[in-house]
Structure 1
Amino acid sequence: MFPPPHQQPLTRLPSLPDLLLTALSVCFLVSSSKPQIGSSRCPFHRRSIKIPAMSLTTKNNLNAVPPRRHNFASPQSLSEWLKPRLPSESFASWGVKPGTKNVHNLWLELSQGETSLADSTPPVRTVHVVLVLITGQHGKFLVESHQELSDGNVRKRGRPLSEKMKPNEDPESAAVRGIMEELGSVISGGLNIPDIVTIHPNSYHMTVEERDSGSYPGLPGCYVLHTLRATVQGLPEGDFSTFEVDEYGGHFQDNNLAHQAVSVKKHYWTWLPAHSLPS
């Protein structure tokens, strides 16, 4: 059993050696170059790195997402750039095929620095995601079974709480923000989210996956996954659902752009034993 959250303070992740910092910096720089034929589409090599948790690391540690430039003035300009670089049938299915997102979603991700696109054919979408393995009673983990979308469709998930990271955001901060946005509606008492979240020491590790995007068919993806284990006070013991905090509405002067994107309206959660978690 883990110590009660109030006895175990929120810990900070460590920075890595300068050599690894330099190596990963180079990876980000080459993310905008065109991949060579036969090489990996991902600017990172597939790997897994386990890093022990320590306290008092600097805010701008290596695990923070670097700023990304975005040069598309509007969703329309992004669409015009994508069309000749993607299979026409795949691109036409964005926002039409159930469970997919549309070009407004991708433009908003780029605008907020959550996603970068390599200037290649096809483009490669790189996104940093924090995965939060929330532990409950009897050693079970919280898993999102499916989502209800703003267009009325349902998207299957079958994964722990996940949140795209923002520029200069470290995994811990992204994890707490994701918990607040996706689980805050069921945590009673008006408690301050950081006070009821405990990140487990020595639980952080990073992996890199290369796969086509389910949200944007035909768009190759490089997913840098930052995984943490955590406990959260006040969650229901059985299956439950939560309402999503407005994903985009408060971030843009032209709120119409956010309304045209496909957003998550409701999350559905269940508790599963560790052996049932997706690998």
Structure 2
Amino acid sequence: MFPPPQQPLTNLPSLPDLLLTALSVCFLVSSSKSHIATTRCPFPGRILKIPAMSLSSSSSTSAVPPRRHNFASPQSLSEWLKPRLPSESLASWGVKPGTKNVHNLWLELSQGETSLADSTPPVRTVHVVLVRIKGKDAKFLVESHQELSDGNVRKRGRPLSEKMKPNEDPESAAVRGILEELGSVVAAANAFYSRVEDIVTIHPNSYQMRVEERDSASYPGLPGCYVLHTLHATVQGLPEGDFCTYEVDEYQGDFHHKNVAHKAVSVKKHYWTWFLWV
């Protein structure tokens, strides 16, 4: 006699269900290892000419908190931040030496240089271009410190850096940053040049990108996601020794933003030195 036929196992999951379960487990594991890509540091969409790194393809856009860009005034931004940040952190903005205030953050948001995740605490995401300006003897230009409008001095120790504006590519942001932060010495030394291209040269194939997650030094208590775009450049007419430059007023003629900028902590002078980059 043949054994009785086995009853079908109706309670077992189907193959598609098993695959979905396995993918879910993999996603949870990868999420715990790639926290910067999926939760704290959502990566805003931006077209990159050279994608030097890629984030986890398993991250879902539905996991990215909504972004906040528009606030009617610095006061409305402050009211939105109060329940989302420790009170002592927010109170230190613009008071602790080297920090900025809520007017600075409002200007960044209104210009599209920064976005905030609608979360507690909010996560500030900013794209920054770092320009390694090459000089003689394999030395690069480094900003040693800044003199701020409130009289404080902020240490830097980094290459020229500039927050990128919406839909701005790294090369354009690099040139804009050079003209804004080095313009006071570049213009005098290169008065005979008629084109920016004759003064600033972006080195081809020098682009790199990385993402850092750390608390903001400018806004204590506010977590930050920094998407850093690095380029190498040569600038004609820079002094060979240490020097300082004056910041360009980017809100000149814009009365609404200029009124807010007057209450913000601004950079008055940049101090530069040449550093042997190892």
TM range (shorter): 0.7 to 0.9
1:121 Cα shift? 0.3
Aligned to 2:170: 171
Give the secondary-structure state (helix, strand or coil) at the position aligned to 1:138.
coil
Give the secondary-structure state (helix, strand or coil) at the position aligned to 1:222.
strand
Structure 2: gaps of 5 or more residues: 1-34, 53-66
> 4+ residue runs of structure 1 moved beyond 4 angstroms?
none
1:214 is the counterpart of 2:217: yes
1:252 Cα shift? 4.3
Aligned to 1:31: none
1:195 Cα shift? 2.3
Larger-Rg structure: 2
1:205 is the counterpart of 2:208: yes
Q: Distance in 2 between matches of 1:226 and 1:77?
A: 31
Q: Distance in 2 between matches of 1:236 and 1:149?
A: 23
Give the secondary-structure state (helix, strand or coil) at the position aligned to 2:174.
helix
Q: Distance in 1 between matches of 2:201 and 2:78?
A: 42
Spell out, residue by residue over 1:76-119, the C-alpha distance to the aligned partner (whole angstroms, 9 max, x if none): 00000001100111100000000000000000000000000000
| C-alpha contact 2:51 2:209 (8 A) present in aligned 1 | no
* Residues 154 and 168 of structure 1: CA distance in aligned 2, closer, same or farther (over 3 Å): same
Aligned to 1:189: 190
1:115 is the counterpart of 2:114: yes
* Residues 215 and 254 of structure 1: CA distance in aligned 2, closer, same or farther (over 3 Å): closer
Q: Distance in 2 between matches of 1:206 and 1:123?
A: 24
* Residues 166 and 75 of structure 1: CA distance in aligned 2, closer, same or farther (over 3 Å): same
Aligned to 2:93: 94
Aligned to 1:159: 158
| C-alpha contact 1:52 1:201 (8 A) present in aligned 2 | no
| C-alpha contact 2:68 2:118 (8 A) present in aligned 1 | no
Pairing of 1:1-279 with structure 2 (within 5 A): 40-44=39-43, 51=50, 70-187=69-186, 188-190=189-191, 191=193, 192-253=195-256, 255-275=258-278
Q: Distance in 1 between matches of 2:253 and 2:223?
A: 29
Identity %: 83
Aligned to 2:17: none
Higher percent of residues as helix: 2
Aligned to 1:64: none
Q: Distance in 1 between matches of 2:255 and 2:126?
A: 21
RMSD value, Cα: 2.2
| C-alpha contact 1:249 1:258 (8 A) present in aligned 2 | no
1:189 Cα shift? 3.4
Spell out, residue by residue over 1:162-183, the C-alpha distance to the aligned partner (whole angstroms, 9 max, x if none): 0000011100000000000000
Structure 1: gaps of 5 or more residues: 1-35, 54-67
Aligned to 1:19: none
* Residues 196 and 73 of structure 1: CA distance in aligned 2, closer, same or farther (over 3 Å): same
